[in-house]
Amino acid sequence: MAGPHPATATIRRAVRAALEEVSPGDVVLVACSGGADSSALAAATAFEAPKLGVRAGVVVVDHGLQTGSDSIARRVADWCRTLGFDLVHITPVRVVQDGHGLEAAARDARYEALDVAADRYGAALVLLGHTLDDQAEQVLLGLVRGAGARSLSGMPQTRGRFRRPLLGVTKRQCRQLLADEELEWWDDPMNEDTAYARVRARYGLADLERALGPGVAQALARTATQLREDADFLDALADDAVTALGPGPWAVDDLLALARPVRTRVWRRLVVAAGAPAGQVSTRHTDACDALLTRWHGQGPVSLPGPLTATRSDGRVSITRPSPVE
């Protein structure tokens, strides 16, 4: 008897490796939108989880961004039940842009909903359907934006209870699994809307593949893996440096003793620890703080998110919240 298609076998092995992290009886949730990638993830999980004694469930997040999204969510949930999932949870969310763009706002709402669902069901893991292609797009966007090593390292396979088993799997392989198993999926029209940067990156990646030959996506994904190791190492050095520096104000000489790749990370940690929203601290802010050390000519305070200010005085730098103007 012939075995499954190689793509199906590859995806099942990747999912099995994630499920083997937990114990029999544990709950693992799959985030499923009904798209090809998350549907392939759900199908592979439905196949592998019973063999390991893992109770697998599905969370369908309804972002409410399209007319009839609630009907689509119910249809996806019903489809997941046909795969054998008895724990299927639909969670509607309210996407508030809050100045950070629709994609970012939808992502934040989605992860918050997945966390709530995981707490509700006591899930040991939540599986996400990001693929190698998604990773390559993430790196490409980072390159275009001139991002640093942390951004170029892409999405981690593991973060807290979240897992991305398919980061070594292509979208083509996901569709092949669904075709092999004669399963349907839903194509979100927003995935073709070039108003979104990620969609433009997808088209750009396809253009690069045509111009440079196949393998661009795989190369970008490998770059992400290599840079993640470097970024993790530098982050660990920065954490140690912050601990050694202690509470401010901090001596200029102590900060200058740090290598710049470590020092820029230290600045970010010090600014966030002082009360700045992490998502608002940019390279522009950390470079301005660093100029208090490397290009010092008696300049005034550096304005930072929070609002905060970084100030140099008497050979020391402090980060404080400015006093309100009376």
Q: Write out the binding residues for ATP.
A: 33-38
**Would you give the DSSP letter of residue 282?**
-
> 84: number of CA atoms within 13 Å, CB side?
12
* Secondary structure class of 157 (helix, strand, coil): coil
Q: Which residues pair with 302 in a beta bridge?
A: 310
Planar angle of CA 60, 280, 314, nearest 5 degrees: 150
DSSP string covering 235-275, please? Answer: HHHHHHHHHHH-SSSEEHHHHHTS-HHHHHHHHHHHHHHTT
Within 8 A by CB and 6+ apart from 127, the residues are 15, 18, 28, 29, 30, 31, 41, 45, 163, 164, 165
Planar angle of CA 124, 56, 228, nearest 5 degrees: 50
From residue 301, how far is each of 309, 322, 326 by CA, in Å? 6, 10, 20
Planar angle of CA 219, 221, 224, nearest 5 degrees: 115
Are 180 and 4 in contact, with CB atoms under 8 Å apart? yes
Axis-axis angle for helices 36-52, 6-19 (nearest 10): 60
Are 238 and 269 in contact, with CB atoms under 8 Å apart? yes
Are 178 and 92 in contact, with CB atoms under 8 Å apart? no
Give the residue numbers of the binding site.
33-38
Tokens 């900060």 found at? 255
